[in-house]
Chain A
Amino acid sequence: MIANLGSPLSAALALLCAWVVIGLAGLLRPMSLVFAGRTLFPLGAACGLALALAALLGIAAPTAHLTLPIGLPDLPMHVRCDALSCVFLCILGATSAGVSLFGAGYFRSGQGAPPGLLCLQYHLFLASMGFVLLADDAYGFMVAWETMALSSYFLVTTQHRIEEIRRAGFLYLLMAHLGAIAILLCFGVLQGGSWQFSFDAMRSAQLSPPRAGVALLLALVGFGAKAGLVPLHVWLPEAHPAAPSPVSALMSGVMLKVAVYGMLRVAFDLLGGPLWWWGLLPVSLGLFTALYGIVFAAAQTDMKRLLAYSSVKNIGILFTGIGLAIVFHGVGRPQLAALALVAVLYHSVNHAFMKSLLFLGTGVVLHSTGERNLGRLGGLIHRMPWVAWLTLVGTLAIAGLPPLNGFVSEWLLLQAFLFAFEVPHTFVNMLLPLGAGLVALTGALSGYVMVKFFGVVFLGKPREAAAAPAHDAGSLERGGLLWLASGCVILGLLPAQIVPVLARVAEQLHVGRLLPNGAPWWMLVPLQGRQASYAPLVFSCAVVAVVLLTIWVVRLLYHQRIRRVAPWDCGFGRLDARMQDTAEGFGQPIRHLFEPFFAMQRQLPSPFDPAPRYRVVIGDRIWNAAYAPLGALVQRIADAFAALQQGRIASYLLYGFITLIVLLALVL
């Protein structure tokens, strides 16, 4: 079937191929930073922008199919573009446009892999994510999925000369492969005995409920491992700090969303109708993940690890929403199911923007100070105002404060949660609304974490001399940050326009539809009956008015002069920059409240120690309880097998001989 070239599907395919070509072009002059940075990365950004536009048009367009003449002999590659794919393609395109523009100015020479190679890996990563979103058969999906895992592995280990980064990369690759095996098995179950691996065959396969349940469970494990669902989250806080910042931005902002896409695709498209109570597992796992992630984020002292744990929290929120949509769908509440699904999609878009923005912000800080440790930063708002103010937008958004986008999606999810009493099953309808409380708690903690992040990095005074001569971002970097920050603002101000677009996905997947409710264009009313509504424009106008009024009043009443003086030292007489609230100090109450979450080792100095040192190491209990023993077991087994390695050819031949004899004896 040949689609016309103007259709969103062929446009998206052409743009993905353009990404591959741009990546390959990087190999023409592999050592040239200028060529990769000033030519190829901006080109990639333009492709991203075009992809976002094409996908935006594609959401409204009917579903398009295409069979590509590549692939295995009997199994050509199918691609398909429906509203769900388009929403995520839009995320991919829009986010990568900002990140690529930023990356054009970010990568410096002499850091690990040569720029041309980096350019290839980066654009292959982008293109493979796009192909995952378009694939319409298990084969194409897995090929693109693995390409995504491998290219991102090489990006994570860009600075492969550092032992720690190699370790992080290995852990990431290991978890990615475990996830991929689960996904492969999931497809194996989904084909339901027809042995046809196109998604169309899976849609029409009639699965018995136990088989479908197993498929959903496998999908949860596979996509959860990629997304960072607790207890499969361990790679996330290791890999994100190891990768260069634009790569962390893409991995956290887009790749995790691709995993969410996979989960949605399996749960609502391939898997006919899941039973309602299967949704309870994603809900409970998601809520636990959200709480776990944000509590760990509060305890971190490395700014990129902090953001990585915050991503874990957001993934938890997303999976909670998915589970909720399954529950509502299963009990026959299509409107609520659609609401939950829209909340998931909206939050995916939002998180892509805000988390990329924050990771890029940390990238600039890291470049100009060489420091990731929060304890050595501080006061950067004076040195890098652009980065500080744009990052502030991101922190406010991710903290879920109203005029910005983070609030909208969490609010939508809360609305869906508050209607959970309509589930016609006792206990469940009493327990589910409690989840709303947990979501609100994680939202509040998220605000706490972001205050810590922004306050310690940008406010106060520089804690170390190294942070003092920091310089602001370059113009290309600023452009990338500005694009993402304005995305956060627009997504926050125009939810009433965006929600109906996203609702098309729910309609097309037959999950349910949001009924038109006659609300004015500036007001978001998710459900009918005026139970709740939100008017972001009015709200933000009020906020701006109050702020301006306050400034004006203060100026009017006060002496209208700004004085810069040293802070009052209470007569102590010897204040220095280290006497500020630290990241450890700020996280201490959370560490104290949620102590069972952490495996903490503390060394407290004695009061009489002339050179006191305070040390705290925060470990992950899940790592200690599950991963460490498993790793030790594998190591022991491997060591036992290593005894076979003698170094003598005669022994090796003897092994072969004995094996041959045993096999022959078995035949006999």
Chain B
Amino acid sequence: MTAQPFVLQILNALAALLLLLSFAMLAQRRVVTLVNLLALQGAVLCAATLLLAWRTGEAHLYFSAALTLCLKVAFLPWLLHRLIRRLGVYWDTDTLLDTTGTMLVGLLVVVFAFGLAQPISALASTATRSAVGIAVAVILLAFLTMITRRKAMSQVVGFLSMENGLFFGAMSATYGMPMIVELGVALDVLVAMLVLGVFFFQIREQFDSLDLEHLQSLKEDR
């Protein structure tokens, strides 16, 4: 393997950190810690973006980094923490698999993601193309997090983490999406978060709990 420039090595290290954080989120049961991990993931993403911006000299990547910092490191975690305090949801439980099983499935998913990313990274001309596999893995792991959780709160965290993965994938494959798309996605996430925040209160009011199991009673009876 040829020696890579120091900056790229740091970038790869950050990518690995992202994946590690995804696994940590998959295993984490405490909702507060989950949100903290999400904030940390955002911070790592921000650092990676800054580094890439510095290396490539693409001005809009600086802007992306600033956006990530404001939205994913500061605002959304703050909002989630506030929601947690007001709703009193501190713990979550698994629905389908236990922690060990989930981690094993997660491993398989990562292997799949890397296999999938190989042709994509072969096509990409960026310096960071090896990180595409990690981005796909982050997306799929976040999806897995959403599937295996019972509380609505954790699912939102999973959703946001999936967005992080998408962002990272776009960045490593093509040095980021066009500015307008990025702004649009950021706005979508923000709005989705606010709407979901309102939904939480509605769900709790209806069922006295944020446990999504209760939604089963909404199913049409035959």
Question: Residues of A at under 8 Å CB distance from B?
Answer: 639, 642, 645-650, 653-654, 656-657, 660-661, 664-665, 667-668
Contact = CB atoms under 8 A, between A and B. Distances in A.
A642 B217 CA distance: 15
Contacts of A656: 143
A626 to B, nearest CB: 27
A647 B217 contact: yes
Contacts of B147: 650, 653-654, 657
Given A648-B215, A648-B216, A668-B119, 6 more contacts: A639-B222, A650-B147, A653-B155, A654-B147, A657-B140, A664-B112
Contact of B143 (A642, A646, A653): A653
A650 B143 contact: no
B116 A668 contact: yes
Interface in B141-186: 143-144, 146-150, 155
Interface in B96-148: 96, 112, 115-116, 119, 140, 143-144, 146-148
A646 B116 contact: no
B3 interface: no
B188 interface: no
B187 interface: no
A668 B150 CA distance: 32
Nearest to B220: A645
Contacts of A654: 96, 147
Contact of B212 (A649, A657, A667): A649
B85 interface: no
30 contacts: A639-B222, A642-B222, A645-B220, A646-B219, A647-B217, A647-B218, A647-B219, A648-B95, A648-B213, A648-B216, A649-B155, A649-B215, A650-B148, A650-B149, A650-B150, A650-B212, A653-B143, A653-B147, A653-B155, A654-B96, A654-B147, A657-B143, A657-B144, A657-B147, A661-B140, A664-B116, A665-B112, A665-B116, A667-B116, A668-B119
B115 A668 contact: yes
Contacts of B144: 657
Interface in B202-217: 212-213, 215-217
A664 B109 CA distance: 12
Nearest to B216: A647
A642 B219 CA distance: 11
Contact of B219 (A645, A650, A660, A661): A645
Nearest to A664: B116
B216 A661 contact: no
A646 B148 contact: no
Contacts of B143: 653, 656-657, 660
A650 B152 CA distance: 10
Contacts of B140: 657, 660-661
Nearest to B152: A649
With most chain B CB atoms within 10 A of its CB, the pick from A647, A660, A664, A667 is A647
A639 B143 CA distance: 29
Contacts of B216: 646-648
A656 B119 CA distance: 23
Contacts of A653: 143, 146-147, 155
Contacts of B222: 639, 642
Nearest to A657: B143
A637 to B, nearest CB: 15
Given A649-B155, A668-B119, A661 B112 contact: yes
A647 B219 CA distance: 5
A661 B115 CA distance: 12
A646 B95 CA distance: 14
Contacts of B215: 647-649
A661 B150 CA distance: 22
B219 to A, nearest CB: 3
B57 to A, nearest CB: 33
A653 to B, nearest CB: 5
Contacts of B116: 664-665, 667-668
Contacts of B112: 661, 664-665
Contacts of A668: 115-116, 119
A147 B129 CA distance: 53
A648 B215 CA distance: 7
Contacts of B217: 647
Contacts of A664: 112, 116
With most chain B CB atoms within 10 A of its CB, the pick from A650, A654, A661, A665 is A650
A650 B220 contact: no
B53 to A, nearest CB: 29
Nearest to A643: B222
A639 B222 CA distance: 9
Nearest to B219: A647
Contacts of B155: 649, 653
Nearest to B145: A653
Interface string B72-90: 0000000000000000000
A313 B148 CA distance: 63
Contact of B95 (A645, A650, A660, A661): A650
A650 B154 CA distance: 12
A667 B96 CA distance: 28
Contacts of A647: 215-219
Contact of A648 (B115, B119, B212, B220): B212
With most chain B CB atoms within 10 A of its CB, the pick from A653, A654, A660, A668 is A653
Nearest to B113: A664
A650 B94 CA distance: 10
A654 B115 CA distance: 21
Contacts of B220: 645
Nearest to B136: A664
Contacts of A667: 116
A455 B115 CA distance: 83
A647 B211 CA distance: 13
B122 to A, nearest CB: 13
Contacts of A646: 216, 219
B132 to A, nearest CB: 13
Contacts of B148: 650
A664 B132 CA distance: 14
B71 to A, nearest CB: 24
A208 B123 CA distance: 47
Contacts of B149: 650
Contacts of A650: 95-96, 147-150, 212
